[in-house]
Structure 1
Amino acid sequence: MCYSDLSEQIKAATLEVHERAENTQLMICFQKGQITRTQYKVLLCSLYEIYTSLEEAMDRNSSHPAVAPIYFPQELDRTEALERDLEVFLGPQWRSRLIVPAATHRYAQRLRQIGKERPELLVAHAYTRYLGDLSGGQVLGKLAQKAMRLDSADGLSFFSFPGVSSANRFKQLYRSRMNSIELSAQQRTDVLREAVDAFHFNIQVFDDLQKMLTMTSASEEKPKERAERVTSLMSPVQLTLGLCVGLLTVGIGLYNY
């Protein structure tokens, strides 16, 4: 089937990898509402690095012909929302407590790179992330609140888009604006490839994190005495890093956009 609209082309090009990403074990657990406070705290750390990198690149290229039509900072930006959530869960000194895995750094580095060298490729990342967040944010926010037994939505600002009155109508507007972007045949091909790569980045993250979780579970089965001995030999920084990395999960917009 031949698609002329860029949004439809991206959806078709990422169909298989999109499904693979949705069905990673970590993503399935999140969708089932099986997320702990510790997991969520470190999730916020990873999301913060990803979105600050994306939004800094979008801001820098806001007048670029490929970025300007889909530049909606008031409606979509997540950085400030994530900062509020991080303060709720990590306290006022949250910036000094941010810990993210190498996979997150790699994804953020890619966003910074194309922001400097190939701004038109930002279209792929902005589309897959923001429209995914709009599609699944409300559901995941409620699941997270229930799983962590939160009395209020404090700490769940990431999932809320107060500047968007209707997610469906806004997504239609976004697709329309994106489809109006003028790209050469080669640029369009590159954007489609970048959208696929965006999912591959995240699948790799999920796979690596699942290995970490498996290793953590195995270590928890060891005798308490050994755990206490190892802990006594670790510095506070090492202990914090091991705990955060072992329980890390990453949320991405992997929903029907």
Structure 2
Amino acid sequence: MWESGCPAHSFTGPAAEGKQQSTSSSREAEERNMETSQPRSSERMSADLSELLKEATKEVHEQAENTPFMRNFQKGQVSLQEFKLVTASLYFIYSALEEEIERNKNNPVYAPVYFPAELHRKAALEEDLKYFYGRNWREEIPCPEATQKYVERLHYIGKNEPELLVAHAYTRYLGDLSGGQVLKKIAQKALQLPSTGEGLAFFTFDGVSNATKFKQLYRSRMNALEMDLATKKRVMEEAKKAFLLNIRVFEALQELVSKGQENGHPVQPKADLLRTRNINKSHEHGPAAGKEGERTKMRNTDTTPTTSLMRWIVALSFLAMTVAVGLFAM
């Protein structure tokens, strides 16, 4: 079932620039200290939240990683329409996640891992959607019921159980940072996207100069969160729930594309079935004139039917989901 749109919520934006600058020196100092620190004992590591999350999601991660569908995607078997549908769902998910992060940025259960300049993806996804759908992208993108349920879960925990927010932030952001470059290269080649990066802003982390060091910093901040064992167990369960929510989203996208294939025509995002509300009335004025022709061509050519479409959407879905929750690459 497809809803007319995901719930609209305001977004207050990243922290003030002055605050980000004031914390940059301390973050660099933390990174230097971690590089020279001695390895912790296995006894201490067993209590670290990052290790607990990794272990808790090991089984489902391995199942996704070993699926043949991912291997198909790695061969470049992905259509533009599939890629656009995934990007649209990610926009709704990250909009909700980042709204709740802003709500809890000063809450001690989340504040230590608040990195808006380095990690937030909403603005990048807006840029990609404008490229793929044009200036009226907000009225065109679909929001399946599974995506809406994911959004509702994020808003619920942000308001009622903010200590669980770290599970979603960790599994999404560090997964994107770990596997995003691989997926970016595959999509750019398979979809013949511009070498200048249009349509791939989601995978570009301009605020992170060294992904390995930043992930070490993030894990150390997360492991330092004050949580008792019972709370850590709840966070672990929430991480597994995040995995399941991702799977359901991509199953819904698979169903959409396969139905279009059965009907003998490609999926169109404009039909009544996919109609979405205007999430934000303050539309921007649209893409630059010099790029409009290219974007129009992009939107027109994505209606060409693809071979084995059902198999490809699952390939894309599982790889995207694995990238997003790529705990073992962290």
Q: TM-score range by the shorter chain?
A: 0.7 to 0.9
Q: Structure 1 vs Structure 2: percent identity of aligned residues?
A: 50
Q: CA deviation at 1:200?
A: 1.4
* 1:111-170 CA-partner distances (Å, limit 9, x unpaired): 011000001101111111011001111111111010101232111000000100011110
Aligned equivalents of 2:225, 2:47: Cα separation in 1: 12
2:250 pairs with 1:206: yes
| Contact 1:42–1:100 (8 Å) recurs in 2 | no
Aligned equivalents of 2:201, 2:162: Cα separation in 1: 28
Aligned equivalents of 1:108, 1:25: Cα separation in 2: 29
Shift of the 198–24 alpha-carbon distance from structure 1 to 2, 3 Å rule, reads farther
Q: Which amino acid aligns with 2:202?
A: F
Equivalence for 1:130:
173
Aligned equivalents of 1:175, 1:16: Cα separation in 2: 21
Aligned equivalents of 1:8, 1:90: Cα separation in 2: 40
Q: Please give the TM-score of this superposition, normalised by the length of structure 1.
A: 0.85
Aligned with 1:181: secondary structure?
coil
Shift of the 217–30 alpha-carbon distance from structure 1 to 2, 3 Å rule, reads same
Higher helix share: 1
Shift of the 207–89 alpha-carbon distance from structure 1 to 2, 3 Å rule, reads closer
Greater alpha carbon shift after TM alignment, 8-17 vs 199-208? 199-208
Q: CA deviation at 1:20?
A: 2.4
Q: Which amino acid aligns with 1:179?
A: N
Equivalence for 1:254:
325
Aligned equivalents of 1:203, 1:51: Cα separation in 2: 16
Equivalence for 1:121:
164
* 1:25-44 CA-partner distances (Å, limit 9, x unpaired): 66554443322111111111
2:61 pairs with 1:18: yes
Q: Please give the TM-score of this superposition, normalised by the length of structure 2.
A: 0.67
| Contact 1:131–1:171 (8 Å) recurs in 2 | yes
Unaligned runs of 5+ in 2: 1-41, 276-302, 304-309
Equivalence for 2:52:
9
Q: 1:143 is matched with which residue: 186, 200, 215?
A: 186
Shift of the 22–212 alpha-carbon distance from structure 1 to 2, 3 Å rule, reads farther
After TM superposition, list the pairs within 5 Å mapping 1:1-257 onto structure 2. 3-23=46-66, 27-152=70-195, 153-220=197-264, 237-238=271-272, 250=317, 251-252=320-321, 253-255=324-326, 256-257=329-330
Unaligned runs of 5+ in 1: 221-226, 228-233
Greater alpha carbon shift after TM alignment, 16-25 vs 115-124? 16-25
